[in-house]
Amino acid sequence: MKFIACFAGAILTLVAGFARAETASVGSLTIETASQVHAFRIEIADEPAERSRGLMFRDSLAEDAGMLFIYPSPRIASFWMKNTEISLDMLFIDAQGMIDSIARETTPFSLKPVKSDGEVLSVFEISGGQADALGIAVGDTVEWSETTLKK
């Protein structure tokens, strides 16, 4: 009987995993700089598996797109570029929605940790060089909205 209960639990866990894989969180994000507001289409990585994979194995990222990593509580965020083919700008965002620090034009495939300066609640990754091109700086304000879609 104990085996059947364990087996049933394993099946339910597997089905729940497939159900999660059938949805994706996407949305929009704006960054207000000193001179203007920039809008982006975003994918949201708010689950551990999504945060682990991030933008690995992609060979491009549109200029108006990015990935937002959301954590359940503020922390020093640390990333690496293993299996990431494109250079990224990482915008580290504090709990008040302000950019705390920026890692600019990260090195593809690097195993060197890229860390936030302070504790952050989220990290927004965009194409390498975009932060400079758009005048995005520490202290700029970030806001986003989320939608869950069926794949």
DSSP states along 62-112: -TTEEEEEEEEEEEEEEE--TT--S-EEEEEE-TTSBEEEEE-SPPTT--S
Residue 23 pLDDT class (50, 70, 90 cuts):
low
Residue 52 pLDDT class (50, 70, 90 cuts):
confident
Q: Would you list the domain boundaries of the chain?
A: 25-150
Q: Is the pLDDT of residue 2 over 90?
A: no
Residue 24 pLDDT class (50, 70, 90 cuts):
low
Q: Is the pLDDT of residue 21 over 60?
A: no
Instruction: State residue 12's pLDDT score.
Output: 32
Instruction: State residue 112's pLDDT score.
Output: 96
Rounded to 10 degrees, the C-alpha dihedral 131/136/139/141 comes to -110
CATH of region 25-150 = 2.60.120.1140
